Structure 1
Amino acid sequence: MIGHKEHPEVEGIVSYANNCMVFRGLEELKDYTEQHPETTSKSTLFVAQTTFDMAEWEKCSDFAKKLYTKSKIFDTICCATESRQKEAADLAKGCDLMLVIGGRNSSNTNRLFEICKRFCEKTLLVESPDDIPDGLVHPGYKVGITAGASTPVSVIKEAATKMSEMNETMERSELNPEETVEMEKPVKAAAETAIEEDKPEETGELSFEQMLEDSLLTLNTGDRVKVTIMSIGATEVQVDLGTKQSAYIPVGELTDDPSLKPEDVVKPGDEVEVFVVRVNDVEGTIMLSKKRVDAIRGWDEIEAAVDNGAVMEGTVAEVVKGGIIATCKGVRIFIPGSQVPGGRDDDHTNLVGTTQKFRILEVNRKRRRVIGSIRAVSREARRIAEDAFWSTAEVGKKYKGVVKSLTSYGAFVDVGGVDGMIHLSELSWNRIRHPSEAVSVGDNIEVYIKDLDTERKRISLGYKNLLPNPWDTLKETYKEGDVAHVKIVKLMPFGAFAELIPGIDGLIYISQISTKRIDKPASVLSIGDEVDVKIVSIDYDAMRVNLSIRALLEGDQNTDTAYQSGEKAAEPSSEAGEKQE
C-alpha cells in the first residue's frame, strides 16, 4: 500500500490484510524491492491511500508495472482528491504566495501543501486566520487560497477577509498623502482573476467578497442545480458545480437504461440539470444524480400522456413475473403480459434491450406505479394500416407479406395490417397435403390479390403463379421416350418416386423396377440412389409422370404392354395417383 502508516484509512486496511507493506513513496518502495528481490515474482496487489499524492502514486505504479511481473494495480485515489490536487497545482503555478488552510494532522491538507510547495516556493500552511502573519503580502503579489476537504467554509471566508484587510493596510502605507490616483487591488484568491474593487459599481464587476461568496455556495440534499460535465470516468462523471466541493455523478445515477454507456448520455462540456443526492462536508464532495431529475420530469410527461393519449417510447429493461419492465423518461413502467405482443404465456426475453412504443393506461405517482400497453399502440397502428390497405386494394395487385400461421387448408399472410389467405391449391404447382410443404411461419413471400370481399373484409391471395411453373420447364427439357438420370426420393409398397426435375417427381411402378418379380421396391432400390429411367408417359393435365427402369433393361420391346400390365397389377389406383401428385 502506498500511503502513510499513521493514517486511519491505512491502519484500517492493514488490519484486514494478511500481509501488507506500507510505503510513503517511490524511494521506500525501491529500497524494499532492492532488499527483497524475490517479491517481484510473487502475486502482489498495489493500492493507494485515497487522499495520497497523485503524482507520487503514478511513479510508484509505473515502477511496479516494470518490476512486479505478477502484480495487480488498482488506482484507489479518490477522484475528488485527484481533482482538488490538480486544481491546487494549476493555481500554485501562477501565484507568488499560496495559502493552504486546514488541520496540520490532516493527510489531505498536507498533500495539498506538498503539491503547492513544488510550484510556489512561498507556500504557507495555516489552521485558522489567526495563523496568517502580518505583512505577508506585497504590492503586485498574486495570492492563491486552497483548503483541505474538511476545512469549514467559514474559516476560508475569514482567511480571505483577513488577506483583503492586510492588502488595504499595505496600500495605505505605500501611498503619499498628495496622491489621489486610485490603484488596483492585487490580491487574487481561490483561482479567480484580480478584482478591481475601486472601480465604480456601474461597471458590473463583482467584488472579491461577492466572488468568494459565489464560490462557497451552500447546497443541500434535494436541491436541483445545473452543472457542466468535465470528464467521464469508468465509475463516475466529474462535473463543475461552481463550489468549493468536488462534485460527481456516479455512473449508476446517469440513466436507468442499462444498455447505454456514460458516453452515450453526456459528453464533456454539456450542461445538465442534476439532483443533489448527498453532501459530504467531511470529505468535501457532493454526489449528484441526473436520472432523478429525468425521473421527476418524466413523471410529469407520463401523467400528461394519460390525459392526452400520447404514445410514449422506452427501452425494455427486464422480464418480470406477469410481464415486462420498460424505462421511459427515467420512470419504470410495468407492461402486463396480456398487453405485450404474443400474450402472457409467451417468452418475452427477446424484447429485452429493444425500444418499444406504448400507451400509458394507469399512473399512481404516490405508489410510483405506472402501467402501459404495447398492444394499444399496435392495434391502432394496425387499424390505420388496414384502412390504408382497403383504400388501395384491387384484384391482381402484388404485395410483400409475412406468413403468420398455417392451417390444414392454407396459409395466412400479413400483407401490411391485413391478413389474407392462400388456399392449399395456390401454394405450389405440385399437389401438397399441408401448407408446411411449401412455406413456413415467418417466411417473407410475394403474393397477389386473387379475390376481394370488401363487405366481409376477406382477402384471397395467390402465390404459385408468381413462381416458375416446373411443368413448363419439363416441356422444354424432356418428352416421352427420353432417358433421364433421376434420384430416388421415396419408396412405397406399389413403387418408387424419383425426382425428374426440381418440383416434379415421377413414379416407377414396382413392375417397372426390375426384369424380375420383386416383393417390394426396397429390395432393389434405396432412397438417395441415382438411376437411369425411361420416361414412359407425361400427363400435363393430371400432372403425372410415369417412369421405367425395366424398359431400359429390356430395350423398347413390349415396353408399353409390360408397363400397362404392371400398372394394373401394382397400382392401388387412387392412392398411387395421389402419392405421385
Structure 2
Amino acid sequence: MEIIVAKSAGFCFGVNNAVKTVNNLLEKQKDPIYTYGPIIHNAQVVDFLTSRGVVKVDDIDEADSNGHIVIRAHGVTPEIYKKILDKGLILEDATCPYVKKIHNLVKEKCEEGYKIIIVGDKNHPEVIGINGWCNNKAYIADTVEDLEILDESDEKICVVAQTTITKEKWVEITTALKKKFENILEFDTICSATSKRQNEAEEISKHVDMMVIIGGKSSSNTQKLYDICKKHCNLTYKIETSGDLPPVDIKKIKKIGISAGASTPDWVIEEVIKTMSELNKQGKVDIVEKDGEIDFANAFENSFVRIQTGDTVKGKIIGFNSNEVFVDLGYKADGIIPLEEYTDDPNFKIEKEVKVGDEIEVLVETINDGEGNVRLSKRKVDAIKSWDDIVKAYENKTPVNAFVVEVVKGGVIASSKGVRIFVPASQVSDRYVKDLNEFLKRNITLRIVEFNEKKRKLVGSARVIIEEEKTALASNTWNSIEVGKVFKGSVKSLTDFGAFVDIGGVDGLIHISELSWTRVKHPSEVLKVGDNVEVTVIEFDKNKKKVSLGYRKIEDNPWYKAEEKYKVGDIVNVTVLRFASFGAFVELEKGVDGLVHISQISSKHLAKVEDALEIGMKVDAKIVEVDIENKKISLSIKEVKPIDPPSKDDSEAKDASGNSADDVEPSEHKEDMSVTLGDIVSKTTES
C-alpha cells in the first residue's frame, strides 16, 4: 500500500503564526492569556492550550483588564479592537496578513463609494470580520442563488473572497455577478496556500483508492478539501485524529492520499501517517523519514523553495489590488510587489496589464516585511536586463526614452526600464530651467553622455538631442523659407514689442502691429507661450538669421469688407474714440475708424470738439465719403442730428464763486463774501 501525503497539508502561515503567538506568551508572560474565540478551528490544539492556562472568551467583557488577548488568524471587526482598547487589555494581533489586506481593501473601496460583495460563508468569523471593515454593509454570497435578489445596476461593485473558498466557487459567483453589474472590480483574495492545498489534494484524489482529510469539525477549509476530493474519490473520509480512521482493506486499497486543513497541527498529521503505515510495513510513504520515524515537520519545511535576499526568482501572479501585486514563489510565504517596484511607467494600468496566472521574474528584496510576506521588485530585474541595452545605446549614441522619477540636487533622476540615469540641470533642456519640478513625472528623451561601469553610473543629456534636432530643423527651414510661405509654429516667448515663434528650429518675430487688425497694448492679449500658431513670412535675412512673421490674416481685416459694408449716405451708430483740433475720431466697428470734422458736429460754431462730444459717447452719423484704399471714412453728425453746445441763455447765472443762483448763501454770508472779495481786490491793487 502506497501512502501519498500532500506537501501543503497542515498549518498555513497565518495559523502557525497565531499558535506561535500564544506559545510565546505562555513562555514569557505570567498575566492571564485569552484568545478571542478558539485560536484555530482544531479541538486538539485548543484543548492543549487550555490545559496550559489559555482561556477562550467569546466576549471581551469575559476577560480581565490586566491580561493579554490574542486575535486569531480570522481577524475581527473594528468594534472588537475598540472594546479591547476600552477594556485596557494588551492586544496581541495574530490576524493573518492576507486577511488584514482584505480588511484594508474593503475599507478603502467602501470609502471610495463601492458596494462591497464578499464571496463566502456569512457565518464564518473571517467573513464577519471583513464585513465590519465596510460598516457591515457588504452583501455576502455563498452560492449563485444568493445573487438572485440583487438587481442589475451600473453602481460600482468591489468583490472579494473569503480566503478559504474554492476557486470553483469564486469563478462561478463572479461570472454571475458580471451579468448583473457593468462596473465591477474583482479581487481574488483566496489565500495562495489555500489554492495550493486544494489543487494538490484534488490532484492526489484523482489517482488514489482512498483519500483521508484531517482537520477540525468546524474548519471551513477542511470541509472544502473534503468536498473537492469527494468528487474524484468515492472513498474520501474527513477525520480529526488517527482514532477516527476507518477500517482499511489493504488488499483492495493500493494507494491512500492524505491531506489536512490549515488548522491541523503536524503532530496530528504525523500520528495519522504512522497509523496508516503500520497497516503495511512495506508501504511506501512519500515523505521524509528521520531515525526510522516520519519527520513531518521537516517534510513540510523541505517542500518549499529556498530563497534568499538578493535572489532573482520566478513566480506566478496570484492576485493584485490597486497598490500591490501578489506572487506565488513556491515559498512558505507569498511575495508582494508594491506598485512602485513593479514599473516606472507613468501610464501603467495595473487592472489592465497584470494578469493572474502569468509567470514573472522578480528580485527578492526582503524575506519578511514584518507581516510574514516576501517583498519583491520586478522593476529592479527589468533594470538588470535593460543595463546591456543602455550600454549599447551609449556606445552607439542612440537616444534613450526615460521617465523623470525624482528631482535631486543639481539635476533630476530619470528611469529607463528600471535603469536610473542622472541628468544635470544644465542638460535637462536647451533653455534655462528655474524649477526642475516642471519635468517631474514627465517623459524625456536622453543621450547617455557619461558611463561608469564600475560605479554603474550613467549621465544623460536631453539638451544635446534637442540642439541636434533644432539644428536639423533649422537647416530644413532656411533651405525652404520664402516670403509669403506659411509655417506652423509654437510661441516661445512674449515681449512688449511682439512674440517670438519657433517655426522649425528658427525663431521668428511677430511684431505687435502684425498680431491683430485692432489696436493691441501687449502681445499677451492675443497669444500665450506654448500656443500653436500659423504664421506667414513677411521678410527674412539668412545672414543675420532674422525672420519677420505675420499672424493676422487678410480676410480678418475689417477694412477687407468695408467697401461692401459702408456706402455714402448710410446712417451708422458710432462710438467717439478721441479728439483732435479739427474733429473727432469715431469707431464704426472694431478696427474701422472714421473722422467727423468739427464743422460736421453742430449747427453752431464750435470752439473745440469737447464742447459738444465726450469720449465713449455713442451717436448716429451719416457717411459722407468713403476712401477704402487709404482707409478713410468721413462722417457728419449734424446731417443726422446736430449736437449743439449749451447756450448762455439756457445756463444758470453764476456768482463770483462759481455757484448758481440757487446756491447763494444767506445775507450774512454774502457780507462775509464781499469782505473777502474786497480784500482780494485791495491786495491786487496794492501789488
TM-score bracket relative to the smaller structure: 0.5 to 0.7
Counterpart of 2:197 in structure 1 is 88
CA distance in 2, matches of 1:58, 1:498: 87
TM-superposition CA deviations, 1:351-389 (whole Å, max 9, x none)? 333322122233446656543222222112222222333
Read off the aligned partner of 1:266 and give its amino acid letter. V
Q: Distance in 1 between matches of 2:198 and 2:564?
A: 90
In the other structure, the counterpart of 2:671 is none
The residue number in structure 1 matching 2:211 is 97
Letter in 1 for 2:194: Q
Q: Is the Cα contact below 8 Å between 2:426 and 2:432 reproduced in 1?
A: yes
Deviation at 1:476, TM superposition (A): 0.8
Matched residues in 2 for 1:228 and 1:75: separation? 19
- 1:55-113 per-position Cα deviation (integer Å, ceiling 9, x unaligned): 66873465578899955999997999922123324444563434779xx9xxxxx9866
- 1:52, 1:331 → 2: CA distance? 32
The Cα of 1:473 is off from its aligned counterpart by: 0.9
Structure 1 pair 279/70, CA: closer, same or farther in 2 (3 Å)?
closer
Post-superposition offset of 1:257: 4.4
Query: Are residue 387 (structure 1) and residue 433 (structure 2) matched?
Result: no
CA distance in 1, matches of 2:273, 2:475: 75
Residue among 396, 399, 405 paired with 1:308 = 396
Instruction: Read off the aligned partner of 2:96 and give its amino acid letter.
Output: T
Q: Distance in 1 between matches of 2:516 and 2:98?
A: 78
Q: 1:343 to 1:354 in 2, by over 3 A?
A: same
Distance 1:149 1:364, change over 3 A: farther
| Equivalences for residues 426-465 of structure 1 within 5 A | 426-429=514-517, 439-464=527-552
In the alignment, is residue 223 of structure 1 matched against residue 311 of structure 2?
yes
Relative contact order higher in (CA < 8 Å, ≥ 6 apart): 2
* 2:260 is equivalent to residue 139 of structure 1: no
SS of 1:554 mapped into structure 2: coil
- Residue 483 of structure 1 and its aligned partner are, at CA, apart by 1.5
Given that 2:213 and 2:226 are in contact with CA atoms closer than 8 Å, whether structure 1 keeps it comes out as: no
CA distance in 2, matches of 1:538, 1:76: 88
- Give secondary structure in 1 for the equivalent of 2:415: strand
Change (3 A) 1:58 1:321: farther
- Residue identity in the other structure for 1:218: R
Distance 1:524 1:426 in 2: 32
The 5 Å alignment of 1:375-414 reads: 375-407=463-495, 410-414=498-502
The TM-score with structure 1 as length reference comes to 0.64
1:199 is aligned to none
Residues 473 and 505, structure 2, Cα contact 8 Å, conserved in 1: yes
Equivalent position of 2:561 in the other structure:
473
Corresponding letter in the other structure for 1:336: P
CA contact (8 A) 1:230 1:239 kept: yes
- Which of 573, 595, 598 is the equivalent residue of 1:485? 573
In the alignment, the residues of structure 1 paired with residue 546 and residue 599 of structure 2 have an alpha-carbon distance, to the nearest angstrom, of 49
Map 1:154-169; keep pairs closer than 5 Å. 169=282
**1:288 equivalent in structure 2:** 376
The share of aligned pairs that are identical, in percent, is 35
**Structure 1 residues 10 and 169 mapped into 2: Cα distance closer, same or farther (>3 Å)?**
closer
Is 1:49 the equivalent of 2:114? no
Contact map agreement 2:161 2:190 (CA 8 A) in 1? no
**Cα distance, 1:333–1:481 mapped onto 2, change above 3 Å:** same
Once residues 408 and 468 of structure 2 are traced to their aligned partners in structure 1, the CA distance between those partners, rounded to angstroms, is: 26
Distance 2:364 2:265 in 1: 21
Tell me how far apart the structure 1 counterparts of residues 97 and 501 of structure 2 sit (CA, whole Å): 67
Q: Which amino acid aligns with 2:193?
A: R
Tell me: CA distance 1:244–1:308, structure 2 relative to 1, closer, same or farther (3 Å).
same
Matched, 1:251 2:339: yes
Alpha-carbon distance change, 429 to 530 in structure 1, aligned in 2, over 3 angstroms: same
Of 301-310 and 438-447, the range deviating more from structure 2 = 438-447
Contact 2:344 2:379 in 1 (8 A): yes
**Partner SS, residue 310 of structure 2:** coil
Once the two structures are TM-superposed, the CA of residue 399 in structure 1 deviates from its matched residue by 1.9
Q: Structure 1 residues 160, 22: closer, same or farther in 2, change over 3 A?
A: closer
Equivalent residues of 1:97, 1:142 under 8 A apart: yes
Separation in structure 2 between the aligned mates of residue 471 and residue 530 of structure 1, nearest angstrom: 21
**Alignment match, 1:297:** 385
Deviation at 1:475, TM superposition (A): 0.7
One-letter amino acid of the structure 2 residue matched with residue 22 of structure 1? Y
CA contact (8 A) 1:228 1:241 kept: yes
Question: How many angstroms apart in 2 are the aligned matches of 1:251 and 1:410?
Answer: 48
Residues 268 and 499 of structure 1, relative CA distance in 2, 3 Å threshold = farther
Aligned to 2:589: 501
Structure-2-length-normalised TM-score: 0.56
Name the residue aligned to 1:197: none
CA distance in 2 between counterparts of 1:162 and 1:284 reads: 34
**CA distance, structure 2, for counterparts of residue 442 and residue 451 of structure 1:** 23
Query: What is the CA-CA distance between 1:472 and the residue it aligns to?
Result: 2.8
Equivalenced residues, count: 490
Write the deviation string for residues 272-315 of structure 1: whole angstroms up to 9, x where unpaired. 22112233599985432211112223333333333221211122
Q: Would the aligned equivalents of 2:97 and 2:371 in 1 still touch at CA under 8 Å?
A: no
Write the letter of the residue equivalent to 1:419: D
Give the Cα separation in 2 of the matches to 1:418 and 1:65. Answer: 64
2:124 match: secondary structure: helix
Paired with 2:530 and 2:384, the residues of 1 have a C-alpha distance of 42
After TM superposition, the structure 1 stretch with the greater mean CA deviation from structure 2, 350-359 or 305-314, is 350-359
Change (3 A) 1:293 1:523: farther
Q: Which of 596, 620, 629 pairs up with 1:532?
A: 620
| Residues 340, 243 of structure 1: alpha-carbon distance in 2 compared, 3 angstrom cutoff | closer
Give the deviation of 1:221 after TM superposition: 2.1
Tell me whether 1:327 sits opposite 2:407 in the alignment.
Answer: no
Q: Cα–Cα, structure 1 residues 82 and 322, in superposed 2: closer, same or farther, change >3 Å?
A: same
Correspondent of 1:277 among 353, 357, 365: 365
After TM superposition, give the deviation of residue 474 of structure 1 in Å: 0.9
Distance 1:345 1:276, change over 3 A: closer
> For residues 35 and 603 of structure 2, what CA distance do their matches in structure 1 show?
96
The alpha-carbon deviation at position 455 of structure 1 amounts to 4.5
Between the aligned partners of 1:24 and 1:513, the Cα distance in structure 2 is 105
Structure 1: 5+ residue runs without aligned partners? Answer: 36-41, 105-109, 172-186, 191-210, 556-581
Letter in 1 for 2:484: G
In structure 1, the partner of 2:424 is 336
Aligned-partner Cα distance in 1 for 2:406–2:387:
20
2:618 and 2:442 mapped to 1: Cα distance?
Answer: 50
Question: d(CA) in 1 for partners of 2:432 and 2:587?
Answer: 46
Letter in 2 for 1:59: H
Q: 2:405 aligns with which of 289, 296, 317?
A: 317
Contact kept, 8 Å, 2:400 with 2:446, in 1: the verdict is yes
> Given the superposition, is the C-alpha separation of residues 257 and 431 from structure 1 closer, same or farther in structure 2, using an over 3 Å criterion?
closer
Instruction: Tell me, yes or no, if the aligned pair for 1:4 and 1:24 is still in contact at 8 Å.
Output: no
Residue from 437, 446, 452 that aligns with 1:358: 446
